[in-house]
Amino acid sequence: MNQFKIVGIALTSFILMFSQAGLADGRTELSGPGEAEVIAGTGYTHTLFDSADNKCQHCHNDLYDTWKTSMHAKSWKDPIFQSKYQDFLRLQASKIGAVGPTGTYQEGTIQKTAQVCIKCHAPTAYYSGDFKITLTEVGDQNVDPDAFEDARALQTNLAPAYNPDLEATVSSMAQSGKVYTVSYHVGNKHNREGINCAYCHSIETVRMMNDVDGDLGQYTLAKPMKMGPIGPLVHNAGDTLHYSPDASTHDMNAFFALIGPEKYADVSNTPKDAAGFDIAKAADGRYTMKSIPVGCDGTDADGNPADCHYTGGPFYGPFGITGVSNSRDDDVTDRASLVKGDFQAAVDADHGDKFESRHQFAAYGKALCLSCHQRSSLMLNPETNGIPGLQPGDDQFLELCSTWTAMSDGVGNNFEDSKTSPKCQQCHMEPLANKTVLHKWDDPDSLFTAKDGVTEHFDPASGVGPVAEGYLNNHAFMGANKADFGLTKIKTGFESGMEVKADDDKLKVKTYLQNKTAHMFPGAHPMRRVLTRVVVTDANGNKLSFKKAKGKSRFKSVTNQLAVLEGNTILPGHETVKVKYDDDRKIVIQGYTADLSSKKEPVNSQFMDGTLVEWVSPDATVTGSTAVETAPGVWAVKGVTTVKKITDIEGAADHFTRIYGRETGKRMADGTHVVRPGFDSNIATDNRLKPNEKEKYTVVYDIEDAVFPLTVKYKVYYMKKGASGKFPTAADGFLNTSLPAETLKKLAIYEVFSAEEKVVDDD
Ligand code: HEC
Ligand code: HEC
Ligand code: HEC
Ligand code: HEC
Ligand code: HEC
């Protein structure tokens, strides 16, 4: 099948016009006529989705610029993701031949498991079925003692230098001693764009389980749920999961273990009720994707073979859209024909307001994000103690990105904007004042007007739309991965401070750290950690040992100050978001252990364990690994790794440290706990700050015999890859910043707050 429709129209003049208007950094021109046009198809190298680069950017130019900088635009090529994905494939290949309660891990099983990550990280590839995964047996350790070692040389295109255009290959070994390579590639350029415009904006109905729409909180499983491909059965096909506003209930936890956006067995035929909500689903799903109109399955209205063209819209947005024709001749699709009648009706009749329509992003914004950002793994968590009301055997899957759990108040829901749990968009999609949502493709200086057929929302003269209001919703989705790290988003996620008091014999250093987000801090991915440290030095530069420390925790309403990248301006009146604290809320998180109560109590300085342990796993977090025969004919890849657990026992007293993080990993019978975020996730402990939480510490020093003046320093670090357990300390007690730049970059530890006071002797 031809991927691109070549339309025989001379386009030179258009392209010329475009060049004259100038292209902002990162924007690209079409390299030839027809490149905008897509013939929809599924399978390797095909796509069902339009390209942000080839299409959307040309009319939604400013929006595109903000999206292009986002992690959504990099979710597939992101080197951190790719390195973990490659490890995941090594791990899966090592399981081939393993026998579990519900079967044997076959060679073909990896075809399925390899898609787990692409569901969220390259969702258009998943929906388009554009994914090639090749397993090759390349040797046998029983026959050739160098087989495993030799296979390493076959690895290509490894992260972090991963190039998404090319196939990548990793190697691994199974218990049987068979040595394998696994190769993978997403074939169509559109599908390598990550979470692109067409993906989010093709979501017709976000149908995260709730109790007001569609199946009214009753979610019946089409397939049995197992703990991984060969693990124990957790639910039978036909079992019904029930909605609860308490995100931590067993059923909700299981719902989120569906690992992200699901694909309907028959995408072109998802049955809808009158209001447009999907019913009688052929397969489990978190939302309805836009159904493919007649023609895409190979036939036109008359039953003749036909190409299905995809266009740059109309797509689903907050307002609902009309079928404005394209201003471009090589874009031949009839946009109007793609607008769903029921969608349009829902907007105009029952839900005229953008904040009411249930189909739309504005009203169901939270659910849209949570469809990927709330996730439990398929590993049962043996340590789900601490969850009230949990019956024996009613174990939970381990929560990974548990953003809703971490902000649900147990009384609201997972889609509506509320005072205690504001919707994600309020903080993560700031309305920008100095941008244009839409302009004409071939005439970038002009806006579409009512004469062109746009709705009032987009008519500059109407005074109601985002164009008229002059704002767009920032699509940069800032987080720890922004290039100007620390200057923007992360710093708005917390508040911190230090106060120093000294008398004749005692020095009291008081610090606080407060969560200013609407979810746990640090948020989302379990590899994030935050570390705070106090160091007191005397006039000779010697570090003083603290005598004791006390801490307490309080909750109160907060106001989040939004952040944007340089050059952007938030629409006045939208710069802050309040997160109200409700005394009655109950946020229940697996493994959560409150470290402090509301009364002052003694606390210890914390550190990351760091002990070296032998570990069996083919992934790259285990170093120096070799093939080891553990019993005749039974092989394992063995190496060493460090225990990265946050340890709360008395350590060195010359600094006072607190570390906040969510730990996932594996605990062995001897209590050894190895943190590997997202892998072997059978443990969760969590000491992050809950929403609205403020922790205060008082660290006390004896200074009777101290050599004055004293220097008191306090710093807060954000550790993007903190679960690597590394925090190299310099002589001054803080992060060793004299390490080579390359090492520091790899560590990804950033100072985000610093305070310093001098204490002089009054006498
Ligand atoms: C030829 C110019 C053009 C291109 C290319 C284009 N759009 Fe649009 N888009 C429009 C127009 C015009 C509107 C407003 C329609 C209306 O007023 O109903 C619009 C509206 C939208 C809306 C609706 C916003 C809302 O508030 O409801 C979304 C979402 C959207 N486009 C997404 C996309 C995506 C995704 C792409 C790329 C796949 C794309 N557009 C490419 C012209 C374009
Ligand atoms: C249900 C959707 C979903 C699935 C399935 C999923 N992820 Fe993610 N992943 C996310 C989200 C959402 C984030 C962003 C969280 C954040 O950055 O805090 C993320 C972030 C990550 C990150 C951090 C990237 C960075 O640059 O900091 C890594 C690594 C990662 N995922 C690996 C994987 C691997 C490996 C798999 C498959 C085993 C996987 N993910 C499957 C949703 C998913
Ligand atoms: C992660 C999902 C996601 C991705 C990816 C995404 N959008 Fe959006 N988009 C949204 C949401 C959510 C809103 C509505 C925000 C609101 O009103 O609360 C929105 C709003 C819009 C609007 C309406 C105007 C506005 O600014 O609110 C347009 C047009 C639009 N998006 C186009 C695009 C284009 C073009 C791209 C790619 C360059 C894109 N979107 C990528 C989720 C997404
Ligand atoms: C199709 C799945 C999907 C949807 C829908 C989605 N996200 Fe994401 N999001 C991801 C993944 C995957 C990543 C991480 C990419 C990476 O780092 O490799 C991510 C990254 C992010 C980040 C940046 C994290 C960082 O490391 O800098 C933020 C913030 C974010 N998303 C917020 C949102 C919000 C808000 C919405 C709803 C409007 C949303 N996302 C919808 C999958 C999704
Ligand atoms: C009151 C404002 C606010 C609301 C509401 C909010 N967030 Fe955040 N979020 C932040 C801030 C500030 C940060 C940066 C600090 C941090 O990483 O914890 C953040 C961090 C994140 C990150 C981590 C980025 C990273 O680099 O790992 C993700 C992912 C995320 N939020 C997703 C969401 C989702 C999904 C929702 C809705 C369910 C949401 N947020 C609601 C303020 C908010």
pLDDT in tens, 400-458: 888 888 887 766 788 888 899 898 999 999 999 878 888 887 777 888 888 887 777 77
Residue 600 tokens read as 């002052």
Task: Decide: 375 in ligand 4 pocket, CB within 6 A.
Answer: no
754 falls in which pLDDT band (50, 70, 90)?
very high
Q: Which two structure tokens, joined as six digits, stand for 278?
A: 């999907």
Please tell me the distance between residue 440's alpha carbon and the centre of ligand 5 in angstroms. Answer: 34
Mean pLDDT, rounded, for 720-725: 91
**Range with the poorest average pLDDT among 118-132, 297-311, 711-725:** 297-311
Residue nearest to atom 24 of ligand 2 (CA): 81
Q: How far apart are CA 189 and CA 77, in angstroms?
A: 12
> Which range is most confident: 219-223, 339-343, 631-635?
631-635
Provide mean pLDDT across the span 540-560.
96
- Return the pLDDT at 389: 52
Distance of alpha carbon 412 from alpha carbon 286, whole angstroms? 19
Burial of 445 (C-beta count, 10 Å sphere; 0-12/13-18/19+): exposed
pLDDT single digits (tens) 109-124: 999 999 999 999 999 9
At residue 498, the pLDDT reads 98
In the prediction, which pLDDT does 14 show? 30
Task: Output the pLDDT for position 346.
Answer: 45
Quick check: CB of 361 below 6 Å from ligand 1?
no
Does the CB atom of residue 429 touch ligand 3 within 6 A?
A: yes
pLDDT tier at 341, thresholds 50, 70, 90:
low
pLDDT for the residue 315 = 64
Closest alpha carbon to 604 in 643, 547, 642, 661: 547
458 lines ligand 1 (CB under 6 A): yes
Q: What is the pLDDT of residue 551?
A: 97
Across 71-85, 379-393, 665-679, the highest mean pLDDT is recorded for 71-85
380: nearest Cα among 100, 88, 135: 100
Any atom of ligand 4 within 6 Å of the Cβ of 479: yes
* Close Cβ partners of 382 (under 8 Å, ≥ 6 residues apart): 395, 682, 683
- State the Cα–Cα distance between residues 93 and 113, nearest whole angstrom: 10
Task: Return the sign of the alpha-carbon dihedral for residues 303, 304, 310, 311.
Answer: negative
Return the pLDDT at 228.
85
Domain boundaries, given as residue ranges, for the chain: 72-192, 490-606+686-759
Neighbours of 1 (CB within 10 A): 11
- Ligand 4 close to Cβ of residue 721 (< 6 A): no
Distance (Å) from CA 706 to ligand 1 centroid: 68
Dihedral Cα 471, 473, 475, 476, nearest 10 deg:
70
Range of lowest pLDDT (181-185, 260-264, 554-558): 260-264
* Region of poorest pLDDT, from 16-30, 196-210, 554-568: 16-30
Residue 586 burial (CB count, 10 A): 12
More confident residue, 320 or 98: 98
- The residue contributing the CA closest to ligand 2 atom 16 is 525
Q: What average pLDDT does this structure show over 690-696?
A: 96
Across 343-369, average pLDDT: 59
544 vs 756: CA distance, rounded Å? 15
Higher pLDDT, 68 or 232: 68
Residue 131 vs residues 110, 115, 196: alpha-carbon distances, Å: 13, 8, 17
Which tops the pLDDT comparison, 709 or 397?
Answer: 709
Dihedral in degrees, nearest 10, Cα atoms 282, 287, 290, 291 = 10
CA 121 to ligand 2 centroid distance, Å: 7
pLDDT given for residue 177 in this prediction: 98
Please give the structure tokens belonging to residue 504.
């004749």
Mean of the per-residue pLDDT values of the chain: 83
Q: What is the per-residue pLDDT for 266?
A: 62
Q: Which residues have a Cβ under 8 Å from the Cβ of 283 and sit 6 or more positions away? A: 222, 223, 262, 263, 264, 265
Ligand 2 centroid to Cα of residue 698, in Å, is: 37
Asked if the bond preceding 314 is cis, omega within 30° of 0, the reply is yes
Between 467 and 413, the more confident residue is: 413
| pLDDT beyond 60 at 671 | yes
Mutation choice for ligand 2 from 70, 72, 81, 521, CB with most ligand atoms inside 8 A: 81
Residue in this structure with the two tokens 């031809």, named with its chain if needed: 2
Which of 557, 555, 588, 592 is CA-nearest to residue 695? 555
Give the pLDDT of residue 323.
Answer: 61
Which of 88-97, 104-113, 194-203, 324-333 shows the lowest mean pLDDT across its residues?
Answer: 324-333
Give the residue whose CA is nearest to atom 40 of ligand 3: 197
Name the pLDDT band for 267 (thresholds 50, 70, 90): low
Which tens digits make up the pLDDT trace of 308-323? 666 545 566 666 566 6
Q: What's the CA angle centered on 254, arms 278 and 184, to 5 degrees?
A: 80
Residue-level pLDDT at 330: 59
What pLDDT is stored for residue 734 in this prediction?
Answer: 97
Q: Is the pLDDT of residue 143 over 70?
A: yes
Which range is least confidently modeled, 279-293, 569-583, 639-653?
Answer: 279-293
Atom of ligand 3 nearest to the CA of 471: 26
Six-digit token string for 679: 């892998």
Q: Which two tokens stand for residue 294?
A: 């007649």
Cα within 13 Å of Cα(566), Cβ side:
5
Residue 391 · residue 415 · CB < 8 Å: no
Determine the average pLDDT of the residues in 458-482.
Answer: 80
Give pLDDT, residue 700.
98
What is the spatial distance between Cα 136 and Cα 374, in angstroms, rounded to a whole number? 34
**Residue 5 pLDDT > 50:** no
Among 292-296, 369-373, 442-446, 614-618, name the one with the lowest average pLDDT.
292-296
Question: Residue 195's pLDDT is what?
Answer: 96
Q: How confident is the model at residue 349 (pLDDT cuts 50, 70, 90)?
A: very low
Mean of pLDDT values over 554-575: 91
How confident is the model over 154-175, as pLDDT tens digits? 999 999 999 999 999 999 999 9
- Check residue 163 and give its pLDDT: 98
- CA of 447 relative to ligand 4 center, distance in Å: 30
Mutate to test the pocket of ligand 3, among 69, 75, 196, 200 (most ligand atoms within 8 A of CB): 200
Residue 135 clears pLDDT 70, i.e. is over it: yes
- Quickly tell me which residue has 């080891």 as its tokens: 628
Q: Which residues lie closer than 8 Å to 249 by C-beta, 6 or more apart?
A: none
- Ligand 2 close to Cβ of residue 126 (< 6 A): no
